[in-house]
Amino acid sequence: MTITIQREEFIQNVNEAISDWDKKRLVFLVMEGLEAGFMPIEMTGQVLLPVLQRACREIDTHDISFAELLLLADTIKAALDILIPKIRESLSETTIKGKVIIGTVKGDIHELGKNLVAAVFESGGYRVTDLGKDVPVEDFIREVEKEKADVIAASTLMTPTLISLEELLKEVKARKLKIKTIIGGWATSPEFARKIGADAWADDALDGLFKLDRMMLGRGHD
């Protein structure tokens, strides 16, 4: 039986569940929204991601802490874990925007932020292969060649593992791979991205999606 819910009330309830870091309630609301006819990509792009975007602005203005942002992102991820597989099922080789290989570089075991970025990229219409954490350079390269990927998205939160990002970019150039590269993570910066020759640097997941779209449209480096 299809249920009927008011859009404005639904969005308000979702926002409240995220603000309360209530994953159980958020999952219930997502399932209810799907049953009521909300499309997965609509729910992701028009309901969940605006909350994340607002939170990213708030951390820049110190209205929320990094710990609070992590809790919020983890809560949103619970909803994306339901929605992303459904979005993935709806994509075909003719409708995807591009193929992305994503991972946290060798030596770094953090992956919450990377997981969220991967989910946002998929919600934006990309086919994403997530290599996980502590990923060696050769694994990135092998997967790029196997999947005939368009983009490598690599991240690190730690300064000591910046060298792993640099080694990855050197290998991409050495092999003359025709692939775009985007990096991110708390230890990185636009200056570092330019230094190692990355095509783009992302401040957060939504900025990453914006940069990814620009790269795939062939608008050059950023």
- Going through 38-189 in order, the beta strands assigned E by DSSP cover 99-104, 127-130, 151-155, 180-184
Structure tokens belonging to residue 170? 């050197």
CB contact burial 17-44 (16+ within 10 A = b; e otherwise): bbeebebebbbebbeebeeeebebbebb
Reported as a single tens digit per residue, the pLDDT across 1-19 is 445 568 888 889 999 999 9
Give the pLDDT of residue 221.
46
Which strand (E) or helix (H) includes residue 70? helix 66-90
Give the pLDDT of residue 61.
74
Give the pLDDT of residue 4.
57
What gap in Å lies between CA 69 and CA 203, rounded to an integer?
14
Q: How confident is the prediction for the chain on average, in pLDDT?
A: 88
Write the burial class of residue 60 (CB in 10 Å: 0-12 exposed, 13-18 middle, 19+ buried): exposed
Q: Which has more confidence, 123 or 201? A: 201
Reported as a single tens digit per residue, the pLDDT across 124-172 is 889 999 999 999 999 999 999 999 999 999 999 899 999 999 999 999 9
Reported as a single tens digit per residue, the pLDDT across 18-63 is 999 999 999 999 999 999 888 888 888 788 888 877 877 776 677 7
Reported as a single tens digit per residue, the pLDDT across 108-127 is 998 878 888 898 898 888 99
Say which residue the tokens 């790029």 belong to: 144
Q: 198 by DSSP, 3-state: which?
A: coil
